[in-house]
């Protein structure tokens, strides 16, 4: 069994447009590579 779990990051975007870019950059710069962003 693999320990390379998929991490789902739930990103709520309502009235937060000034923080979205910084938030996505922070997620992209993490050391763990197996993730997805679900933007709502």
Domain extents in the chain: 7-39
Q: How far is CA 18 from the centre of its chain?
A: 16
pLDDT of residue 2: 65
Report residue 37 as tokens: 């962003």
pLDDT digit string, tens, across residues 1-40: 567 899 999 999 999 889 999 999 999 999 999 999 999 9
Q: What is the pLDDT of residue 5?
A: 94
- Cβ contact 8:15 at 8 Å: no
In angstroms, the CA 11 to CA 8 distance is 9
Nearest-angstrom CA–CA distance, 28 and 36? 10
DSSP for residue 14: T
pTM over 0.75: no
């Amino acid at each position: 069994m693999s320990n390379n779990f998929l991490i789902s990051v739930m990103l709520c975007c309502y009235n937060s447009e000034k923080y979205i870019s910084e938030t996505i950059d922070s997620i992209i710069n993490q050391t763990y590579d197996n993730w997805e962003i679900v933007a709502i």
